[in-house]
Amino acid sequence: MKKTKLLKKIIFLSAIIGSNTMTAQTYKFSEANNVEGFVIHTEFSTVEQADMVGTDGVMIFNMPDPSDLVPTSMRVDQSGIIDATNNKFLSIRLQNNTDVTNLRLKIQSTPRAIWSVPITLDTNTSELKTYTLEIKNSEWTGDLSNVFFQFRIPGQRMPITGTSIVIDEISFTPTLSSNDVIKEDVSIKIFPSPVNEQLNVISTNTIEKIEIYNLLGQKVLANKNSKTLNVASLLKGVYIAKIYQEDNLISTKQIIKQ
């Protein structure tokens, strides 16, 4: 009886994993001179480089020549189809050695209507970092062919020649992978960890909700409109904190309960 139940669980988990693998869309830029359907606007130069330490390949965006008209943002379009119905999470791994502070995932639903999901970037970095978010906008559904990314510095012109943005991987997935969950989100901090009672969140954005999940994916605690959460009732172990912020931004953090 126990073996039968275990077999059913294995089959069920295998079906979930297989489904996620089929619907997820990942761009790794692993082939030389292949930017996998991404198109950059003409005022910027783009170079695909297939060999970088720690990566399969990267897509590099070089800033414009200072003699050119320097725009206020850089737009990169994906010319293919994104399965927005099944893929509700975005993960992008990049190195930003520019002063660019904002990355927006955008979709042009009509000629004049564009909505966006913002991500705050670490600036002038020398290492690759991963940024993840859940896409909650109602327009994010169906097969979309009008998705693009926008890099910008609010109220300023873009950086000039000599700086670049290096993208290692872009993924649209049904769920966050375990690797995504434990990567550092530089826009938000939590403490202490390990934690005994009160968990604190530091963010420049308004915190709308904090949820705590165990490693089985079960929600065990929640709190609204507060930057603190009492976790004293939790058993010792590893948990995932899911932090909902304004502008549909969701961050995930791993915590340890003592």
66 vs 59, higher pLDDT = 59
**pLDDT greater than 70 at residue 164:** yes
Residue 159 has what pLDDT? 60
SS (H, E, C) the chain: CHHHHHHHHHHHHHHHHHHHHHHCEEECCCCCCCCCCEEECCCCEEEEECCECCECCEEEEECCCCCCCCCCEEEEEECCCEECCCCCEEEEEEEECCCCCEEEEEEECCCCCEEEEEEECCCCCCCCEEEEEECCCCCCCCEECCEEEEEECCCCCCCCCCCEEEEEEEEEECCCCHHHHHCCCCCEEEECCCECCEEEEEECCCEEEEEEECCCCCEEEEEECCCEEECCCCCCEEEEEEEEECCCEEEEEEEEEC
**Where in the chain are the domains?**
25-174, 183-257
Q: Which CATH number does 183-257 carry?
A: 2.60.40.1930
Mean pLDDT of 79-106: 86
Q: What does pTM read for this prediction?
A: 0.58
- pLDDT tens, position by position, 7-64: 443 333 333 333 344 478 988 887 777 778 887 765 455 554 433 334 457 777 776 6
* pLDDT above 70: residue 5: no
Class of domain 25-174 (CATH, top level): mainly beta
Least confident of 65-74, 96-105, 210-219: 65-74
For residue 203, pLDDT beyond 80: yes
What is the structure's pLDDT at 243? 86
